[in-house]
Amino acid sequence: MPFEIIIGVILAVMIFLFANGINALPLAVIGLLAYVLQNYMDKSSIIKNSAKPADAGKAITFEDIGGQETAKNELLEALDFIKNYDEISKMGIRPLKGILLTGAPGTGKTLLAKAASNYIDSAFISVSGSEFIELYAGVGAQRVRQLFKTARELARKNSKKHCVIFIDEIEVIAGVRGKNSNHLEYDQTLNQLLVEMDGLSAKDDDVKILVIGATNRPDILDPAILRPGRFDRIVKVDLPDKDGRLEILKLHTKGKPLAEDVDLEQIAKETFGFSGAHLENLCNEAAILARRAGEKVIRQCHFMEAIDKVIMGEKLKRKPTKAEMKRIAVHECGHALISEFFKPNSVSTITITSRGEALGYMRQKQEEDIYLYTRNHLETEIAIALAGAAAEEVILGESSTGASGDINHAVELAKKIVFSGMSEMGIVDRDSIPLKELHREISKIINAQKEKAKEIIEKYKEDLNLIIDYLMENEKIDGETFRRFLKDLKNFKAA
């Protein structure tokens, strides 16, 4: 019943009782509080709104998910234990009760859960951890009980033998107990989830329930939820590598009108660190840019522009002064020169067009994804990061606040060198190293690389001004054009 009607009825009853000499105010307050509490305790509305069969709408299959072969294989094996229970029970194998998907946002954890549900032909319930937490203690625990009850009812209603319960952001209710000493609701909710998972039985239950949790913060989960018999298997859903990104791009460009010049492999190289969600957004933005330009097909230039938009945001209308434009051009050309000096063919784009918080930027690409870094590699990255400020000092006489983000990045890289035991300090304990010594070592590493960058820029100072002038006139230089300029520099030779 709507809240306004309840209030109206209460007021009418109060007026009637007051007219007959009865003070009904205490009864009205108690009734109102009971109504509010009942609303909080009404678990079924949230849970049932989230409940739906796995085949509601477009059925997601594992073929629809690209770039996650390892995660898919681990998940498929666990699902086969459920799907072929009679066969695997002869081997004494116990079906898994829970699977935890961990990984960065946008890597496809929800899609994997939906595909898992479809694979074993089950009902599917999707909820978020935040849906269980309320002000009153005990509400979350009741909602957990209702969740498992609804799962069984939904499976029976749809004539399914299995039901997948997917809990996104599970760290909200499964964080380490005791951390919220003034809010026992979190602990009670987790305790109830543990009880429900312990009560799952593949042998006795007519509906087999599989709980799939997803989180990007596995480090804060309570150890009790991770032990065998609850979440038996932890599946890492990583950011896709180059081959994975290519596979995802093929999926998301299927059905889109692509021009002949579109090179998806090149786009995959340019998008290191992109998640599946980023790549889907990239393809969508490329299509939007093509339509904005009045094109009937999506061209390579639209994809390249979309990469910049996804990373940095939309172009801004604000225009820096001519002096600021010159400084930005000097800064970005400094980054590009040092990048090409140490890592040939690494520059993808240089622009002085403002996007998001950036007044300009130089975007790099790499032939292969790298996951382990040597000291030499990290020092090269520091030199590239500081090359913008170095170019400003060499060509303009002083640097600016535009280098603050580069400096923060360089400091983090220097810390990685120190804490990995690759500095002259040797192996150190990051928790006990004196701040003064840490600062001294970081400054030493950073200043050495900045001086190295300044020496290189000084050597090509005059010729670099030609590239700066071109950039100011055109606002953007692609990597190939920049490298053609470098070929004309006197004695330019990469390290």
Q: Helix, strand or coil for residue 288?
A: helix
Predicted confidence (pLDDT) at residue 367 exceeds the cutoff of 80: no
Which element (helix H / strand E) includes 347?
strand 347-351
For 312-346, the pLDDT digits (tens) are 887 777 778 888 999 999 999 999 999 999 999 99
Q: What is residue 218's DSSP assignment?
A: G
Inter-helix orientation angle 375-391/322-342, to 10°: 160
Q: Helix, strand or coil for residue 127?
A: strand
The predicted structure's pLDDT at residue 30: 64
Q: Helix, strand or coil for residue 477?
A: strand
CA pair distance 409, 254, nearest whole angstrom: 37
Q: Residues 292, 405: one domain?
A: no
Of the ranges 171-185, 217-231, 402-416, the best mean pLDDT one: 402-416
Q: What are residue 208's DSSP bridge partners?
A: 162
| Residue from 96, 163, 97 nearest 126 by CA | 163
Q: Residues 414, 483: one domain?
A: yes
Query: Is the separation of the CB atoms in 128 and 109 below 8 Å?
Result: no
Angle (CA) 129-133-134 rounded to 5° is: 155
> Does residue 317 lie within any of the structural domains?
no
Instruction: Compute the mean pLDDT over every residue in the chain, rounded to the nearest whole number.
Output: 84
Predicted confidence (pLDDT) at residue 54 exceeds the cutoff of 60: no
Predicted confidence (pLDDT) at residue 180 exceeds the cutoff of 70: no
Q: What are residue 258's DSSP bridge partners?
A: 298
CA pair distance 310, 324, nearest whole angstrom: 25
Given the residues 171, 185, 332, 392, select the one marked as catalytic. 332
Predicted confidence (pLDDT) at residue 49 exceeds the cutoff of 80: no
Predicted confidence (pLDDT) at residue 46 exceeds the cutoff of 60: no
Q: Is 412 tagged catalytic?
A: no
Of the ranges 101-115, 200-214, 376-390, the best mean pLDDT one: 376-390
DSSP string, 371-407: ----HHHHHHHHHHHHHHHHHIIIIISS--GGGHHHH
The predicted structure's pLDDT at residue 79: 84
The predicted structure's pLDDT at residue 24: 61
Q: What are residue 125's DSSP bridge partners?
A: 51, 165
Q: Residues 362, 477: one domain?
A: yes
Weakest-pLDDT range from 1-15, 103-117, 415-429: 1-15
Last residue of a domain, one of 236, 266, 298: 236
CA pair distance 256, 279, nearest whole angstrom: 14
Instruction: Residue 269: give its domain's CATH number.
Output: 1.10.8.60
The predicted structure's pLDDT at residue 41: 47
User: Which residues are CB-neighbours of 42 under 8 A, at least 6 positions away?
Assistant: none
Query: Per-residue confidence at 407, pLDDT binned at 50, 70, 90?
Result: very high
> Does residue 492 lie within any of the structural domains?
no
Q: What is residue 358's DSSP assignment?
A: B
> Does residue 258 lie within any of the structural domains?
yes
CA pair distance 199, 202, nearest whole angstrom: 10
- Provide the domain limits for residue 89: 43-236
The predicted structure's pLDDT at residue 55: 45
For 12-44, the pLDDT digits (tens) are 766 766 677 676 666 666 665 655 555 544 444
pLDDT mean over 229-246: 89
Instruction: Calculate the dihedral angle through the C-alpha atoms of 63, 68, 69, 72, rounding to the nearest 10 degrees.
Output: -70
Predicted confidence (pLDDT) at residue 260 exceeds the cutoff of 50: yes
For 426-483, the pLDDT digits (tens) are 999 988 999 999 999 999 999 999 999 999 999 888 888 889 999 999 988 998 999 9
Q: Residues 212, 275: one domain?
A: no
Angle (CA) 187-188-190 rounded to 5° is: 65
Weakest-pLDDT range from 26-35, 171-180, 234-243, 329-338: 26-35
> Does residue 455 lie within any of the structural domains?
yes
| Residue from 265, 112, 129 nearest 185 by CA | 129
When divided into structural domains, the chain yields a total of 4
User: Which residues are CB-neighbours of 20 under 8 A, at least 6 positions away?
Assistant: none
Q: Residues 97, 227: one domain?
A: yes
Q: Residues 97, 210: one domain?
A: yes
- The arrangement of strands across the sheet holding 123-128 comes to 51-53, 123-128, 162-168, 208-215, 98-102, 231-236
Instruction: Residue 57: give its domain's CATH number.
Output: 3.40.50.300
pLDDT mean over 354-373: 82
Last residue of a domain, one of 220, 236, 252: 236
| Residue from 48, 49, 62 nearest 111 by CA | 62
Last residue of a domain, one of 312, 342, 373: 312
Weakest-pLDDT range from 125-134, 247-256, 268-277, 380-389: 125-134
Predicted confidence (pLDDT) at residue 377 exceeds the cutoff of 50: yes
Neighbours of 273 (CB within 10 A): 11
Query: Per-residue confidence at 138, pLDDT binned at 50, 70, 90?
Result: low
Predicted confidence (pLDDT) at residue 126 exceeds the cutoff of 60: yes
Q: Helix, strand or coil for residue 165?
A: strand
Weakest-pLDDT range from 15-19, 31-35, 376-380, 383-387: 31-35
Which element (helix H / strand E) includes 52?
strand 51-53
The predicted structure's pLDDT at residue 2: 52
> Does residue 79 lie within any of the structural domains?
yes
Angle (CA) 398-400-405 rounded to 5° is: 135
How far from chain centre, in Å, is Cα 337?
Answer: 31
> Does residue 400 lie within any of the structural domains?
yes
pTM: 0.74
Q: Residues 72, 28: one domain?
A: no
Q: Residues 28, 111: one domain?
A: no
Q: Helix, strand or coil for residue 119?
A: helix
Q: Helix, strand or coil for residue 470?
A: helix
The predicted structure's pLDDT at residue 442: 96
Largest CA distance in the chain: 105
| The two three-digit tokens of residue 34, written as one number | 């009971």
Terminal Cα-to-Cα distance of the chain (whole angstroms): 75
pLDDT mean over 375-397: 95
Of the ranges 191-195, 352-356, 396-400, the best mean pLDDT one: 396-400
Inter-helix orientation angle 109-119/69-83, to 10°: 30
